[in-house]
Amino acid sequence: MASNSIRRHSPNFLAAKILAKVLQGQPLEDALYEHHESKDIALLTFLCYTTMRHYYSLHQRLSDISHRPLDHMDIEVKCLLLLGACQLQYSTLPAPLAVAHVVTAAKKIGKTSAGSLINAILRRYDSTIEPSMDEARYELPQWMIDRIKFDYPNDSDEIFRTSIARAPMTLRINISEICSSDYCALLQESKISFEQTALDHAITLVKPMSRSKLPGHEEGYFCVQDLASQLPVSVLEPQPEHRILDACAAPGVKSRQIADVFPNNYVDAYDIKPQCSTWNIAKDSGNSQNLVFKQGDLTTTSWWDGSPYDRILLDAPCSGSGTLSRHPDIKVTRNEVDVSEAAELQFKLLNSLWNVLAVDGILVYSTCSIFIEENDRVITRFLENHQDIVVEPIELPIGRPTAFGWQTLPKAQAYDGFFFARLRKQKISS
Ligand SMILES: C[S@@+](CC[C@H](N)C(=O)[O-])C[C@H]1O[C@@H](n2cnc3c(N)ncnc32)[C@H](O)[C@@H]1O
């Protein structure tokens, strides 16, 4: 987006444009990133995240007072209504002002004729009405509610609660740059409150803040990384001479962790996406001595040079169902078919990568999903197709064992839902 338009347009105008893109499939994080230099980025973030987090209840309250179904309206008009409802429900702005801002934004977007419709609906909006439908009460689509209840009958209430909460901000301290105690001292000097976590080199900020305002941002002293997402790398346990493959590496969060924690190992990081500015890597850390980023489709082996890897991390593409508090757009934009398609791709990737793993080597399979279909069920199918796999036990400070791996369930103010399994390749005697 050109900087001119960033300056020209109101937060409601920009937020409506962003949300329209999100409802058409662009991840919220990416759509918002296009405006990261806007002076209104904090307000834009609040408007977009709060609207997506409470999409289902806002949608129901609006539908109850609208003569026309919301989903039949022009997408930007629908987004403006959701944004208006969000501000009436969750901001301290006086209601007439909130409505006026949205109506003005509608005119600027070129939806002048919708202005009176938006005005009429928002003036009837009643924020005190408790929504009755499950989707609105849990802020989730019905298929996700059913699946979570089925997969986790004893934990579903906490998963539902967590999915609406704001995600915490956890930092992984780059121990190759600074030791944890020195970094914590820097935070204390800057009067930034934080809490220790179950992991030695990870701390959670009491209040999330812009990473550029944290001490050591320029020096690369930390990476913003969810606590549970730090666990798969911790079970790789390579020997110093081992070659590591970080498979499905973009945007490079775990690649950086591997390079930091195992500085003596050679690491190939592959993804189907080319390396680009949204990769979470410092300018000078890509293609450093021990870490090389490459592009390749890992469902094939055409990218492979023929030298087997001793350790593989397959951080597979997935539904992201363990990260709903961090990525509230997922619940609105994904469907059940996406989950089955993800499971199919995960199985394909596992099969292909098993060919490039050395005998006695270890592959760690991980997803940020809580759905069993993408986790234990993929492993079950994989085991049925291979005779040379030993499933190794995992024991970690957070989470619980599953049939073949380890699962963390999302926990408010703490961490996301993640699954991982540790598979060793054994020699088959002929
Ligand atoms: C969960 S993300 C990986 C996150 C990454 N490991 C990190 O920690 O930053 C899954 C990645 O799989 C990649 N991917 C999907 N299909 C792929 C394929 N056939 N070959 C290689 N990468 C693929 C996607 O581009 C996406 O970046």
Rounded Cα gap, residues 274 and 271, in angstroms: 7
pLDDT at 190: 97
Structure-block tokens of residue 430: 């002929």
Q: What type of residue is 290?
A: N
Rounded Cα gap, residues 57 and 132, in angstroms: 9
Cα of 295 to ligand 1 centre, how many Å? 11
pTM of the full predicted structure?
A: 0.94
Strands 266-271 and 291-295: parallel
Pick the CATH number of 169-224 from 3.30.70.1450, 3.40.309.10, 3.30.70.1170, 3.90.870.40: 3.30.70.1170
pLDDT at 123: 97
pLDDT at 430: 65
Q: Give the closest residue to 363 by CA, choosing from 251, 248, 250.
A: 248
Structure-block tokens of residue 76: 């930007």
CATH number for the domain running over 3-138: 1.10.940.10
* Residue 165: partners with Cβ closer than 8 Å, 6 or more residues away: 325, 412, 413
Looking at residue 249, what DSSP letter applies? -
Cα of 249 to ligand 1 centre, how many Å? 5
Structure-block tokens of residue 199: 């992991």
Cα of 373 to ligand 1 centre, how many Å? 18
pLDDT at 8: 75
Phi, psi dihedral angles at 82 (to 5 degrees): -60, -40
* Residue 41: partners with Cβ closer than 8 Å, 6 or more residues away: 32, 35
Structure-block tokens of residue 330: 């997922």
Q: Are 384 and 255 in contact (CB under 8 A)?
A: no
Q: Which atom of ligand 1 is nearest to the CA of 273?
A: 25
**Which of 258, 271, 351, 364 has most ligand 1 atoms within 8 Å of CB, for mutation?**
271
Task: Confirm whether 368 is a catalytic residue.
Answer: yes
Q: Which residue ranges make up each domain of the chain?
A: 3-138, 169-224, 231-425
Give the residue carrying structure tokens 């064992």.
401
Domains 169-224 and 231-425 share a fold: no
pLDDT at 335: 97
Low-confidence spans in the chain with pLDDT less than 70: 1-7, 275-289, 430
Rounded Cα gap, residues 167 and 64, in angstroms: 30
pLDDT at 275: 67
Q: Are 305 and 224 in contact (CB under 8 A)?
A: no
Neighbours of 288 (CB within 10 A): 15
pLDDT at 77: 97
pLDDT at 285: 46
pLDDT at 276: 54
Superfamily of domain 231-425: Vaccinia Virus protein VP39 (3.40.50.150)
Rounded Cα gap, residues 357 and 309, in angstroms: 5
Phi, psi dihedral angles at 295 (to 5 degrees): -105, 140
Helix (H) or strand (E) holding 52: helix 41-53
**Which of 253, 272, 301, 323 has most ligand 1 atoms within 8 Å of CB, for mutation?**
272
Rounded Cα gap, residues 308 and 266, in angstroms: 13
**Which residue ranges have their beta carbon within 6 Å of ligand 1?**
248-254, 271-273, 297-299, 315, 317
Q: Give the closest residue to 399 by CA, choosing from 419, 375, 382, 413.
A: 419
Rounded Cα gap, residues 337 and 319, in angstroms: 10
Give the residue carrying structure tokens 């609208």.
66
Rounded Cα gap, residues 100 and 160, in angstroms: 34
* Residue 328: partners with Cβ closer than 8 Å, 6 or more residues away: 28, 49, 52, 53, 55, 163
Cα of 69 to ligand 1 centre, how many Å? 37
Rounded Cα gap, residues 425 and 193, in angstroms: 45
* Residue 337: partners with Cβ closer than 8 Å, 6 or more residues away: none
Rounded Cα gap, residues 332 and 315, in angstroms: 23
